[in-house]
Amino acid sequence: TTSLDALQGLLEKLGLEDPIPTFAGSDVLSRPLDIFHSYLADILVKITDCEPQVAYDAIQWATDMNNGDLAVVVPRLRVKTTDNKELTRDLAEKFPHSTLFSLPLADGIHLRIFFLSKSLPKVLLPYIHDRKETYGIDSTSGHRDPASPDAGAGRKKVVVEFSSPNIGAKFEGAHLRSTLIGSYIASMHEAHGWDVVRLNYLGDWGKQIGLLAAGWKRFGSDELLAADPLRHLYDVYRQIDELFRPEEEARDKLRDEKKDTTAIESQGLYAERDGFFKKMEDGDADALALWAKFRDVSIASYKNLYASMDITFDEYAGESQVNRDIIAEVEATLREKGFLEETSDGSSLIDYKKHGHRGLSTAILRGRTGSTTYLLRDIAAAVERDRTYAFDKMVYVVKAEQESHFQRIFAALEMMGLTTLRLKLEHVSFAKCLDLGDDVALLSDMIATAQSAARIVIESDPDNYAAFPATIDGDPTTVADRFGIAALQVQEMLVRRNNNTHFSADRMVSLEVSSGARLQYWYARLATVLQGATPDIQDLDYTLLVESEDYTNLLRVMTQFPDIVQGAFRTMEATGLLAYLFRIVDQISIVLEDEEDEDEAGGASSSVGARLALLEAVRLVLRNGMRVLGVEPVLV
């Protein structure tokens, strides 16, 4: 069914003699829903005499299965009438007997259409089995159009910048969210045939490194650093930060009173911090050696942690790595075009308001001492990455609090005349991660919390996992670890990015609610039932499937998969796709438990093949969905 002829042949066998009608926006070879959609439009044309494309566009797909599979919004047919409800009833009566649809329901101005359960498996199961890992995923959507003159061949490239923790500091809830969201955005693009560059932009430059160095002098230990690098650096930072706080408060007080703060800032830890950072910026060998030590051990640790989450970064970039010549180039261009101002105290800035960006205030590019700022480094980094990667798109996965920072970057690029670059950039923002708890300060804490919660759930009910091969092989930790990672991922993907998340170890591993553990568990149960069997789908007896509402509902849901994936990709929101996968999981849990009961009662049936074909199709849909989202299953 992967060619139009073959698909046509299949439909002919069902008794559909007319060729599949074609419409703008329809893609029957990728989306089975469009087959139904197209034939329905054709029927509408026959019974109302309306324009074919108008009929096609008047049809929606139903998200609530109780309301059918498709709906015709009757007024959109633009049939002359004084009463659309009357017309709807009229159309319901005129609706012919059909191979694909049962008789429709008139519901106000909506004509509700249900797929005929007898035909559904005959269309959908061959369709899914012919496509396997490509069902629902347009793996060529990331390919350049070879016909377009400027494009050249090959794949489109996206740079996804995510995670980006700060050296020595806490791994915040925001970093966790960025890691998980960035990872699924990268996976989605990869599944769709894009070239993906995963980039981690470490906070490894700036005054906070100066403060960390001041802390290292007082509290640092090479032994402790070797034992647990991220924890020790964080301990050192916390201690020095505590010593620093009184100075900071004194300065803030003066600033609030609009008094001169230079006296405070030129002594104590202020001076030590800023002095060290100045040395870094001036290329002082000792300062840079210490900085490199912090950076190297941090990257080594993070690499392992990310690997346990199935994440590999292509580049550990960072604020320190931004090319100095490009920074100078950015400043020169902005100065030349009259956007960069130098102030009397030696700093330089952009006054965004003055240049028509009313929502943005003044922003410093270089401070008094000549040090670059976060903003200047970021502007230059965008230019540099554009040259390095020649990307088609770059996505920054960063918390919503930095919204105006990114607006400043984008506005600066526009001021520089780099509009094409600016248009390739997107800030994907997200709200807060709440309830992390005080003792969860590092990424390793977050992972450990999820994994040990998963271990407790699994160990409390070993019988349930007896069939999981990883357990049989004598290594139960791998199952629990994988459950834990999926638990973190799913907790994140259940909500829209702009909603807050709540970190809850219990919830994320519960098998009773939509959780990563539940997704893993039922996927593995299904895979265990199938045991790698690839059922032959020729000449199956579908009676059992047709008679069971549970099976039919699974088929109805599975028809929507490609459309759901498309929505997830377009919006870069995982919520809808994940909720969809849980509709399938919920249904498959019912089916598998029922079957187990039947098996125990000794029930055998002639529809074994059909049942296996269906279960394998469900497995493929779940597997493809998980792949798009970047969730690695316990069992393949």
Rule CB under 6 A: say whether 386 interacts with ligand ARG.
no
For the bound state, the minimum distance from the C-beta of residue 425 to ligand ARG, rounded and expressed in Å, comes to 10
Instruction: Pick the closer one to ligand ARG by CB: 203 or 220.
Output: 203
Rule CB under 6 A: say whether 398 interacts with ligand ARG.
yes
Q: Are the C-beta atoms of 506 and 457 separated by less than 8 Å? A: no
CA distance 449 to 455: 10
Q: Are the C-beta atoms of 64 and 49 separated by less than 8 Å? A: no
For the bound state, the minimum distance from the C-beta of residue 580 to ligand ARG, rounded and expressed in Å, comes to 31
* The one among 23, 184, 352, 396 contacting ligand ARG by CB under 6 A: 396
CA distance 297 to 232: 11
What are the residues facing 201 on neighbouring strands?
317
Q: Which stretch binds ligand ARG (CB under 6 A): 160-168, 255-263, 321-329, 539-547?
A: 160-168
Instruction: Pick the closer one to ligand ARG by CB: 98 or 444.
Output: 444
Rule CB under 6 A: say whether 378 interacts with ligand ARG.
yes
For the bound state, the minimum distance from the C-beta of residue 209 to ligand ARG, rounded and expressed in Å, comes to 12
Q: How many residues does the chain have?
A: 636
Instruction: Pick the closer one to ligand ARG by CB: 161 or 272.
Output: 161
Say how many C-beta atoms besides its own lie within 10 A of residue 62's C-beta: 17
- Strands 340-342 and 501-502 turn out to be unpaired
Instruction: Pick the closer one to ligand ARG by CB: 395 or 490.
Output: 395
Closest CA to 622 of 493, 524, 528: 524
- Strands 195-202 and 157-161 turn out to be parallel
What are the residues facing 434 on neighbouring strands?
502
Instruction: Pick the closer one to ligand ARG by CB: 87 or 440.
Output: 440
Instruction: Pick the closer one to ligand ARG by CB: 28 or 202.
Output: 202
Which residue is it, tokens 């049936």?
Answer: 605
Q: Which stretch binds ligand ARG (CB under 6 A): 121-129, 148-156, 158-166, 421-429?
A: 158-166
Instruction: Pick the closer one to ligand ARG by CB: 36 or 237.
Output: 237
Instruction: Pick the closer one to ligand ARG by CB: 161 or 190.
Output: 161
CA distance 24 to 202: 46
For the bound state, the minimum distance from the C-beta of residue 172 to ligand ARG, rounded and expressed in Å, comes to 7
Determine whether 228 is exposed, middle or buried from the number of CB atoms within 10 Å of its CB (0-12, 13-18, 19+): middle
Instruction: Pick the closer one to ligand ARG by CB: 20 or 322.
Output: 322
The vertex-626 CA angle with 622 and 68, nearest 5°, equals 45
For the bound state, the minimum distance from the C-beta of residue 401 to ligand ARG, rounded and expressed in Å, comes to 8
For the bound state, the minimum distance from the C-beta of residue 420 to ligand ARG, rounded and expressed in Å, comes to 19
Instruction: Pick the closer one to ligand ARG by CB: 114 or 171.
Output: 171
Instruction: Pick the closer one to ligand ARG by CB: 230 or 398.
Output: 398
- Strands 348-351 and 362-366 turn out to be antiparallel
Q: Select the residue whose beta carbon is closest to ligand ARG and give its number.
A: 203
Instruction: Pick the closer one to ligand ARG by CB: 203 or 484.
Output: 203
CA distance 243 to 237: 10
* 3-class secondary structure, 112: strand
- Strands 195-202 and 315-318 turn out to be parallel
- Cα radius of gyration rounded to whole Å, the chain: 30
Closest CA to 512 of 500, 521, 523: 521
- Looking only at residues 453 through 472 of this chain, which bind ligand ARG when binding is defined by CB under 6 A? none
Rule CB under 6 A: say whether 166 interacts with ligand ARG.
yes
Q: Which residues of 230-239 are buried (b: 16+ CB within 10 A; e: fewer)?
A: bbbbbbbbee
For the bound state, the minimum distance from the C-beta of residue 396 to ligand ARG, rounded and expressed in Å, comes to 5
Instruction: Pick the closer one to ligand ARG by CB: 296 or 403.
Output: 403
Instruction: Pick the closer one to ligand ARG by CB: 61 or 302.
Output: 302
* The one among 38, 98, 164, 449 contacting ligand ARG by CB under 6 A: 164
For the bound state, the minimum distance from the C-beta of residue 313 to ligand ARG, rounded and expressed in Å, comes to 14
Helices (H) and strands (E) in the chain, counts: 26, 14
Q: Which stretch binds ligand ARG (CB under 6 A): 159-167, 190-198, 260-268, 542-550?
A: 159-167
* 3-class secondary structure, 355: helix
For the bound state, the minimum distance from the C-beta of residue 604 to ligand ARG, rounded and expressed in Å, comes to 60
Secondary structure (H, E, C), 515-543? CHHHHHHHHHHHHHHHCCCCCCCCCCCCH
For the bound state, the minimum distance from the C-beta of residue 228 to ligand ARG, rounded and expressed in Å, comes to 21
Instruction: Pick the closer one to ligand ARG by CB: 21 or 182.
Output: 182
DSSP 462: G
Q: Which stretch binds ligand ARG (CB under 6 A): 139-147, 161-169, 325-333, 365-373?
A: 161-169
Amino acid at 480: A
CA distance 519 to 581: 8
For the bound state, the minimum distance from the C-beta of residue 377 to ligand ARG, rounded and expressed in Å, comes to 8
Q: Are the C-beta atoms of 366 and 348 separated by less than 8 Å? A: yes
Instruction: Pick the closer one to ligand ARG by CB: 213 or 322.
Output: 322
For the bound state, the minimum distance from the C-beta of residue 498 to ligand ARG, rounded and expressed in Å, comes to 18
SS3 content of the chain, % helix, strand, coil (to 5): 60, 10, 30
What are the residues facing 115 on neighbouring strands?
101
* The one among 203, 210, 484, 609 contacting ligand ARG by CB under 6 A: 203
Count of residues engaged in binding ligand ARG, rule: CB under 6 A: 8
- What lies within 8 Å, CB to CB, of 589 at 6+ separation is 522
Rule CB under 6 A: say whether 430 interacts with ligand ARG.
no
CA distance 67 to 107: 9
**Which two tokens mark 178?**
């960025």
CA distance 626 to 113: 30
Given the rule CB under 6 A, which residues bind ligand ARG? 161, 164, 166, 201, 203, 378, 396, 398
